[in-house]
């Protein structure tokens, strides 16, 4: 017996019944560890004392590094947030799922100039049957929460999290014994905070900061860097407050704690670039099974984070995740290469790819006719960016600093990041490195062959294919119900759609996996949503 009454529209989703989802876990519920992710924005590792420091003090994070393992070769998949976060949440390279352009969701009246003239806002239509790793954790019984930011290049499904808001917290779960996975995103180190906090007190004397060779060593550079380092120091204190909450709850010792940044520094000639300074991130992991004070030099990519969390939680890693676990029972052999991509940045179109073996970095410029520096309006609020442009016009930058403003790029670049950490000396034309150039070039081509690269077609052409020529995304087919012998089965005609259900409008969407019991007179709200599609209408199903 079934009927469906449309009640109201919500942009939420839950999992469809997949064969592999009936038994998603490998360990018993009480054995699942709590997992906490601490994430800040726009920060390279060197600002932390554990990695050497640039003049500021970061005692909390340095202590966390000493309590666990510090990774020295962890990399984002892009030098900017949204594409990298798409890779984090799906465990797939953003270029393979159409989530590589910065950014896909968010164009609104008044900010059209931040996009190309023909741009339409869209959610990336990720492959059928691909879901964010938090949904798999929820299916395994975890309470999942995300505080402050998503930015996944698509509208996140309702079943992605138990809660995703500025107040999201492990403390909000109803059962204190339920294992949790919680993310806390900190924005104080974002590039925008350099100018937003320009008038706040500095915690470091500009004379004491380390000035990298990509910038001139002068008063404007030093003051801007001191502002950024001050923000890092304030972030460190914020982490201390969060860790104290964990300790107050008696959870610190037995919680697996990840700390990382969403990509390299937010400063000019760092952010958005595929040099290590734009890609390398700090990564500390503290857990009861990790030797305190250890260092891990293996290559780690953002696509590996989701599989690793599932591995640690005892959840089977889906076959469509492209990353590999670097911890847990499903740990893989160390990877040989990491990969990264740069595509449209706001209004400016480009296509650059990179592969690194940890020492040598290969960069392929698919649009070499374009300059390295692009006129991205957003970062013109940074006083250091304005200063660099003025010095460029005056001819006062040195050769390495001026290189950013070259009118064209080479087809290929090759760097020894061990001896040339700022990647100034292009070895692509040096015959002594011909073999390494060929090796990394082939690794790049194999990566594209293995996973695809949707940026090979124009962005709006890709979207047009997804939408079948319509002017909007397709709509997920509504949920259908079968009710037999007191059990409810749910389905949607849209392949790969996720299905959610709840018994009242105030409940959180539960993830549908297998048929479940319902009593006479119960109400059931349902919703279907495939990522990249519009969700179906939230509906009340009455028995």
The H or E element that residue 312 is part of is helix 305-313
- The per-residue pLDDT for 6 is 34
| φ, ψ (nearest 5 deg) of residue 519 | -95, 155
Please state which of the four CATH numbers 1.10.3210.10, 3.60.150.10, 3.40.720.10, 3.30.465.10 is assigned to the domain occupying 32-107+121-332.
3.40.720.10
Q: Which two tokens stand for residue 499?
A: 């299905």
Q: Which two tokens stand for residue 131?
A: 């879901």
Residue 16 pLDDT grade (very low, low, confident, very high; cuts 50, 70, 90): very low
Give the start-end residues of each E strand in 239-334: 255-261, 280-286, 294-296, 300-301
Residues 328-363 have pLDDT tens digits of 999 999 999 999 999 999 999 999 999 999 999 999
Q: Is 60 exceeded by the pLDDT of residue 289?
A: yes
User: Partners of 184 in the beta sheet?
Assistant: 38, 147
Q: At what angle do helices 59-67 and 219-248 cross, to 10 degrees?
A: 50
Looking at 81, 188, 518, 541, which residue is catalytic? 81
Residues 492-541 have pLDDT tens digits of 999 999 999 999 999 999 999 999 998 878 899 999 999 999 999 887 87
Residues 359-388 have pLDDT tens digits of 999 999 999 999 999 999 999 999 999 999
Q: At what angle do helices 383-393 and 219-248 cross, to 10 degrees?
A: 160
Measured in residues, the chain has a length of 543
Q: Is 14 a catalytic residue?
A: no
- The per-residue pLDDT for 195 is 97
Q: Is 60 exceeded by the pLDDT of residue 59?
A: yes
CA–CA separation, 477 and 533 (whole Å) = 10
- Is 1-31+470-543 assigned to CATH 1.10.10.60? no
End-to-end CA distance of the chain: 6
Residues 83-132 have pLDDT tens digits of 999 999 999 999 999 999 999 998 888 888 899 999 999 999 999 999 99
Diameter over CA atoms, the chain: 81
282 burial type by CB count under 10 A (0-12 exposed, 13-18 middle, 19+ buried): buried
Residues 185-214 have pLDDT tens digits of 999 999 999 999 999 999 999 999 999 999
CA–CA separation, 362 and 367 (whole Å) = 15
- The per-residue pLDDT for 519 is 84
What is the rounded average pLDDT of the residues 227-244? 98
| φ, ψ (nearest 5 deg) of residue 532 | 100, -20
Percent of residues, the chain, with pLDDT higher than 70: 94
Residue 19 pLDDT grade (very low, low, confident, very high; cuts 50, 70, 90): very low
Q: Is 50 exceeded by the pLDDT of residue 152?
A: yes
Cα-only R_g, the chain: 24
**Tokens 């950014």, residue located:** 103
Q: Is 80 exceeded by the pLDDT of residue 423?
A: yes
Q: Is 80 exceeded by the pLDDT of residue 404?
A: yes
Residues 472-496 have pLDDT tens digits of 999 999 999 998 888 999 999 999 9
486's CB contacts (< 8 A; 6+ apart) are 517, 518, 519
pTM: 0.93
CA–CA separation, 323 and 510 (whole Å) = 27
Q: Is 60 exceeded by the pLDDT of residue 7?
A: no
Percentage helix, strand, coil for the chain under 3-state DSSP, each rounded to 5: 30, 20, 50
Q: Is 90 exceeded by the pLDDT of residue 181?
A: yes
Q: Are 309 and 110 in contact (CB under 8 A)?
A: no
- The per-residue pLDDT for 30 is 41
- The per-residue pLDDT for 21 is 34
Q: In terms of pLDDT, which residue wins out, 483 or 444?
A: 444
- The per-residue pLDDT for 542 is 59
């Amino acid at each position: 017996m079934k009927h469906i009454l449309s009640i109201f529209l919500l942009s939420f989703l839950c999992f469809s019944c997949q064969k592999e989802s009936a038994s998603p876990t490998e360990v018993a519920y009480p054995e699942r560890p709590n997992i906490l992710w601490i994430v800040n924005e726009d920060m390279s590792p060197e600002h932390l004392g554990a990695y050497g420091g640039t003049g500021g003090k970061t005692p909390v994070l340095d202590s966390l590094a000493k309590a666990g393992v510090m990774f020295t070769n962890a990399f984002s998949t892009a030098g900017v947030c949204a594409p990298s976060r798409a890779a984090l949440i799906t465990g797939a390279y953003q270029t393979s799922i159409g989530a590589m352009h910065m950014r896909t969701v968010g164009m609104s009246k008044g900010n059209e100039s931040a996009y190309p003239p023909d741009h339409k806002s869209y959610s990336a239509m990720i492959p059928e049957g691909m879901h964010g790793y938090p949904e798999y954790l929820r299916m395994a019984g975890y309470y999942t929460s995300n505080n402050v930011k998503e930015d996944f290049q698509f509208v996140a499904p309702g079943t992605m999290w138990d809660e995703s808001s500025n107040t999201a917290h492990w403390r909000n779960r109803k059962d204190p014994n339920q294992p949790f996975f919680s993310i806390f995103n900190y924005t104080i180190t974002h590039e925008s905070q350099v100018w937003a906090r320009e008038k706040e007190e500095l915690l470091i004397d500009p004379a004491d900061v380390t000035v990298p060779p990509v910038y001139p060593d002068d008063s404007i550079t030093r003051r801007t860097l001191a502002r950024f380092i001050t923000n890092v120091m304030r972030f460190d204190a914020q982490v201390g407050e969060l860790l104290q909450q964990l300790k107050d709850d008696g959870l610190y010792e037995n919680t697996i704690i990840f700390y990382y940044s969403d990509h390299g520094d937010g400063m000019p000639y760092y952010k958005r670039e595929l040099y290590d300074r734009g890609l390398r991130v700090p990564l500390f992991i503290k857990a009861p099974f990790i030797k305190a004070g250890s260092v891990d030099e293996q290559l780690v990519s953002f696509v590996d984070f989701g599989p690793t969390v599932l591995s640690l939680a005892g959840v089977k890693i889906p076959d469509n995740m492209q990353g590999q676990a670097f911890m847990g029972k499903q740990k893989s052999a160390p990877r040989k290469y990491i990969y990264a991509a740069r595509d449209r940045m706001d209004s400016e179109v480009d296509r650059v790819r990179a592969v690194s073996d940890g020492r040598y970095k290969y960069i392929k410029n698919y649009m070499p006719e374009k300059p390295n520096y692009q006129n991205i309006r957003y970062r013109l609020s940074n006083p250091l960016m304005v200063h660099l442009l003025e010095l460029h016009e005056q001819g006062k930058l040195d050769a390495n600093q001026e290189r950013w403003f070259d009118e064209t790029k080479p087809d290929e670049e090759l760097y020894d990041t061990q001896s040339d950490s700022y990647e100034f000396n292009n070895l692509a034309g040096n015959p002594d490195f011909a073999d390494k150039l060929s090796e990394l070039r082939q690794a790049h081509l194999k990566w594209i062959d293995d996973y695809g690269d949707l940026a090979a077609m124009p962005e709006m052409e890709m979207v047009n294919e997804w939408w079948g020529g319509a002017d909007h995304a397709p709509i997920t087919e509504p949920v259908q119900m079968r009710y037999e012998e007191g059990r409810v089965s749910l389905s949607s005609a849209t392949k790969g759609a996720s299905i959610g259900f709840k018994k009242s409008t105030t409940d959180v969407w539960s993830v549908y996996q297998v048929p479940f019991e319902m009593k006479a007179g119960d109400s059931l709200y349902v919703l279907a949503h495939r990522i990249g599609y519009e969700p179906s209408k939230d509906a009340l199903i009455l028995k």
